[in-house]
Structure 1
Amino acid sequence: MHIPTWRSRWKRWHAALVIAAILIVAVLLISAQRASAALPILGAEAIHAHHHQLALPQASEPPLLPGPDHMTNHGPWFQIVCTLGHRLRDDPIVFPSQPGASHEHQFFGAMGTNAFSTYAQLTSGGTTCGDKADTASYWVPTLYDEQGVLRSPRRVRAYYYANTSDSAALQAFPPDLRVIAGDARATSTQPLGVIHWLCRNRRDQSAGLPLASNNPPRCDRDEYLSLSIRFPDCWDGINLDSSDHRRHMAYSDEQKRCPATHPVKLPKLRLSITYEDGAFTGGNFTLGGPRGQPHAISWAAMHADFWNTWRQSALEEYVNGCLKRARSVRSTSCQR
């Protein structure tokens, strides 16, 4: 009878180990392929596959969850939380001294903003914001659902980001600057980097990163609708407004650089608006008035206005003490 030697036994064990290793590698490769296939696609393919829905890219817009861990690509930042203000069919930037000429807007920040408001009035007045130095005026069109019911936002958060590779060059918004984000005449979706919508779970804020969409999504009753609007952050350095209310401002590029035509880098302002009163059925709502009213506009025309009527010394202390000093804080903990 043949008795296997230690050499023959070692050869058999070695062969078995090689086969086992090959099988393990094969399993790992298959798992990796499946995992990569499950990752969200960015770019044109994603737009086609998800009907204009994209996983929110960390490099372009941060998630709507506040906190420094979610904002690191934008550098230092601070936020101001404001409650609901008044509603009027006024727009003191586009239709100054013309009351009732606009579609309906929901105002935040400076109290009593109207078609006749002046810079001096707003800077010396009250505010709906938690930081009483923020007497700036913010406004967006009112939102009406398919039944013609007004759906009021619960709050707005104004996020101010450094968003620059050269903090020394960053400047505060100049006094009396007027800025518009979004297009009130749009009839189709606007760029995702300017306007985006998403649904968030009411009970579990950590329930995964939601998809951002430039189409209004369908939100269930256990979710609320969030809207994000990003303002341009480069100024021409001369004009506080312009004939079309746009040409004096521009957006920085992906490297956070301003174009030569608009060389002054300002903070990146983003409004995060929360609607929490019931389910939303996608894009079946109107802005600025109920469906059928002559002043109502399409959901696609969402936009926002910002009039810098801050108490300027306080804004400059925020910019110099927070945004230019590599600190990311909430307004209540920012030392001025």
Structure 2
Amino acid sequence: MGRNTRKRRTPLATKIVAGAAALAVGGGGLVWANFYASAHEEHGGHNRTRSAAAQVATIDCPDVGQQIRDVPDRARGEVDGELATMDSQITDAYQRLATTRRAQAGDAQFVGNSILGPLKERRKAIIDRIQLEIDRAGGRADDNLDELAGCQGRPADQMQNGGGQNGDGQDGGDQNGDGQNGGDDQNGDGRNGDGQNQDDNGNGVAGPVADDFIDINDVQPNSRDSRNGLAANGDGGSTGTFTTECGVNENNLFNSDNLIAAPGVDNGAHHTHDYVGNQDNDAFSSDQDLAAADTSCRNQGDKSTYYWPVLRLQDGTQEFDAGDQGGGAEGNIGKILKPAQAEIKFVGSRQGDVVAMPKFLRVITGDAKSFTNGDANANTSWSCSGFEDRQVTDKYPLCPEGSQVLRTINFQSCWDGQNIDSANHRDHMAFVQEDGSCANGFQAVPQLQIRLAYDIPAPAVANGQVQNPYAVDSFPEQLHKPITDHNDFINVMDEDLMNEVVDCINRGEDCR
């Protein structure tokens, strides 16, 4: 499988770290090995070195980008670049966490002194620069951003800020680092009955784990929290639809950039995206580049870019990016799974007509950092074909034979009427309220709904282990949790087509 993206440079230091943290299995794919393994064990007894620090599965840092508001336009590029550097710092710290388990087991203070402490200082330096850049551009930086510099380590099953519960309704995670619920083994020796490390479920990578999956039959119908991702359309208002057919990435356009959140930054996403629609979408694409690009959409007036993290099957396949940043070098391993179908549809408002989206409007929905940020912005609905009334956000579904894995996202459809983007890439857009209306003077625009269907054999889950799991690409420290799924959109429809979309929806017709 190829990719038609710019050649990326992989820094030597990154290659060294990746090499130290990886091993080859099956088809030779790079796999992050034994992140949670205990450093010293004496099999046949309970005599081993243990420490609270060894229970730390990942790094939890406050999301500075979501807290920034007043950023003048001329400072946006610099601020986005600084935030991308901060993401790289977290990735580097996580790599150090993953490759120093022996030191952690021998020193309970190692994580705090050698990883979290230095990370805090580096983050504070960037926050100081962000504040300076905002002030220089005529804005007013938040003096309290320094409070977001510190990070913490936490177990893999502990959600942030009550950000959801685990599948049995009990609070996830061990607050005390004592190993009771912190992802540690139950046998006191770091191993389960078949000799594999329990914490990584034998996959050799930092997720997904068995508890990230649920049999679709065990999901209660109509039980999903619907505060986000509300369908804007209904029986009243503007009831039409417009479907744009853009394929399933047959052109193999992949990269680990994020043009919206990290423009001008190579590998700004730290995970690989599928792209349909616009064919010139990388970190360095200008609006002019997007407008002049080819499109995979059947209607050539739609040069919009639609992109989402790839799904992978962790079966040992060595993909084209097995040694690259954003791919195997950052724990995103296995066979990339293309959707069997990608339905991209725009719908109307239950409360009245919709207005045209402005050209180059940028929308991010879902949250790539939901595992550490909490689930306030989590949005993806996971389900199975034939079970569409059973949807879940924080689990991957196990579908019966012949049923497809469904991945659905409804975008925000209320626009502030002025801006095509905002400092945190969220404030210019909002979800409809429960009655389908837009609050705070926002205007209803066509709601983008994306439904992806995949042919994926159900992973085998037994005895706390999962074999050949599938997982969404993620930032390394997010551990491939399903709740981190997200979706991105830049409107690059020409004016005539956007007017056609609006007219069709407001007339109540179904158009293509």
Common topology (TM > 0.5): yes
Alignment counterpart, residue 153 of structure 1, candidates 333, 339, 358:
339
* Structure-to-structure mapping, 1:51-70, within 5 angstroms: 53-55=220-222
Q: Is the 8 A contact 2:239 2:506 kept in 1?
A: no
Which is strand-richer, 1 or 2?
Answer: 1
1:307 corresponds in structure 2 to: 490
TM-score by structure 1 length?
0.69
Structure 2 match to 1:9: none
After superposition, residues 275-290 of structure 1 pair within 5 angstroms as 275-280=454-459, 284-288=469-473
State how far apart, in whole Å, the 2-side matches of 1:72 and 1:145 are: 39
Deviation at 1:172, TM superposition (A): 1.4
1:277 to 1:192, Cα distance in 2 relative to 1, 3 A: same
Contact 1:107 1:138 in 2 (8 A): yes
Structure with greater Cα Rg: 1
Aligned residues: 265
Distance in structure 2 (CA, Å) of the matches to 1:216 and 1:295: 15
Cα drift, residue 277 of structure 1: 4.5
Distance (Å, rounded) in 2 between the aligned partners of 1:295 and 1:216: 15
Which residue identity is paired with 1:76?
G
Q: Which residue of 2 aligns with 1:80?
A: 244
Q: Is the 8 A contact 2:366 2:486 kept in 1?
A: yes
- Give distance in 1, aligned partners of 2:376 and 2:221: 12
Partner of 1:135: 303
Structure 1 position 53, deviation (Å): 3.7
Paired residue secondary structure (1:79): strand
The answer on whether the counterparts of 2:412 and 2:432 sit within 8 Å (CA) in structure 1 is yes
**Residue 100 and residue 191 in structure 1: after superposition, are their counterparts in 2 closer, same or farther (change >3 A)?**
closer
Partner SS state of residue 123, structure 1 = helix
Query: Which residue is equivalent to 2:450?
Result: 271
Determine if contact 2:378/2:483 at 8 Å carries over to the other structure.
no
Mind listing any 5+ residue stretches in structure 2 that lack a counterpart? Answer: 1-167, 170-216, 316-333
Q: Is the 8 A contact 1:200 1:210 kept in 2?
A: no
Matches within 5 A, 1:10-159: 53-55=220-222, 72=235, 75-85=239-249, 86-102=253-269, 103-147=271-315, 148-159=334-345
Separation in 2, partners of 1:132, 1:271: 19
Q: Distance in 1 between matches of 2:508 and 2:378?
A: 24
* RMSD between aligned residues: 3.3
Closer, same or farther: CA 230–221 of 1 in aligned 2, 3 Å:
same
Alpha-carbon shift at residue 281 of structure 1 (Å): 5.8
1:176-215 correspondence to structure 2 within 5 Å: 176-187=360-371, 190=375, 194-200=379-385, 209-214=388-393, 215=395
| d(CA) in 2 for partners of 1:237, 1:281 | 49
Q: TM-score, normalised by structure 2?
A: 0.47
Amino acid at match of 1:248: H
Paired with 2:367 and 2:388, the residues of 1 have a C-alpha distance of 27
Structure with more contact order per residue of length (Cα contacts < 8 Å, sep ≥ 6): 1
> Does structure 1 conserve the Cα–Cα contact (< 8 Å) formed by 2:370 and 2:377?
no
Deviations 1:141-172 (A, max 9, x none): 111234332222233211111123221xx211
Distance (whole Å) between structure 1 residues aligned to residue 484 and residue 447 of structure 2: 21
The whole-number CA distance in structure 2 between the counterparts of 1:219 and 1:190 is 24
Change (3 A) 1:237 1:120: same
Shift in Å at residue 194 of structure 1? 3.1
Q: Which residue of 2 aligns with 1:217?
A: 397
SS at match of 1:217: strand
Q: What secondary structure is seen at the aligned counterpart in 2 of 1:324?
A: helix
Which amino acid counterpart does residue 99 of structure 1 have in structure 2? D
1:36 match: none
